[in-house]
Structure 1
Amino acid sequence: MDSTCEYCYTLLPEAQRPDDANHPPDDATLIDTLRRIVANRQYLKIDGVIVDVWSASVTVQIWDLLRDDKRQRLLTLPPHELILRCIAIYRHVTKNRGGQ
């Protein structure tokens, strides 16, 4: 289902480009795609959502720190929700350490 509005297409032409990757829930190769974003320092469009380098980096950092059972729970989410959840964890952790 394409939920991007036409107005968004005019503001961000990259939104019109086809997906670079598709990852259904429970697809652990999403993390490999995020690692590729970080390594190449280039955003990709995953399942209709543009994922920037910072978001990919934060997600990978949090992912690497999680126990396997927590990883499996995150994998049940759609990719954009998994990324947002990892960003929320990162913000919570860094806020408590006096970071960003």
Structure 2
Amino acid sequence: MSSHIRHPRDLRQAVCGLPAADVDRWETEDPPRRDYTCEDCYTLLPEAQRPDDANHPPGDATLIDTLRRIVAERQHLKIDGVIVDVWSASVTVLIWDRLRGDKRQRLLTLPSHELILRCVAIYRRVAKNRGGQ
């Protein structure tokens, strides 16, 4: 059975409605740290139901401006159906600023969430090689 997110108002129940007795594992971190959390829990969270704050098709360079706004305002936004937190936005901007133009163009061909995940992966690899984390 997959993990479930605890309901914010009823700690005896998952967000998707399963009672506590039927749940093997709770994800209590916000956001959940596992990739295999129940899909219903993700889609039923209030943050997931709000409309997108920004839409950026692949190739749209204004995505970086939106990420810079997240960092400046220290407030997460929902971009293309995905909630982007301040840390992910700051790491993406940090990596973006250090890339060459040809590498930037390759990243811009990806959907926004993939671009962010690639930049986070680059950051983790660099941090690991420097002895951090």
TM-score, length-normalised on structure 2? 0.69
CA–CA distance in structure 2, aligned partners of residues 82 and 57 of structure 1: 13
Which aligned runs of 4 or more in structure 1 are off by greater than 2 angstroms? none
Residue of structure 2 in register with 1:7 after alignment: 41
Matches of residues 1-100 of structure 1 in structure 2 within 5 Å? 5-10=39-44, 12-100=45-133
1:16 partner letter: Q
Q: Which of the pair has more CA radius of gyration?
A: 2
Quote how far apart the aligned CAs of 1:9 are.
3.0
* Per-residue Cα deviation, 1:10-30 (whole angstroms, up to 9, x for no partner): 3x2100000000000000000
CA–CA distance in structure 2, aligned partners of residues 50 and 7 of structure 1: 14
> CA RMSD, aligned part only?
0.9
Residue of structure 1 in register with 2:31 after alignment: none
Mind listing any 5+ residue stretches in structure 1 that lack a counterpart?
Answer: none
CA–CA distance in structure 1, aligned partners of residues 41 and 125 of structure 2: 33
* Per-residue Cα deviation, 1:28-82 (whole angstroms, up to 9, x for no partner): 0000000000000000000000000000000000000000000000000000000
Mind listing any 5+ residue stretches in structure 2 that lack a counterpart?
Answer: 1-38
Q: Report the identity percentage.
A: 83
| Larger relative contact order (Cα-Cα within 8 Å, sequence gap ≥ 6) | 1
SS at match of 1:50: strand
SS at match of 1:61: helix
| Residue correspondences, number | 95
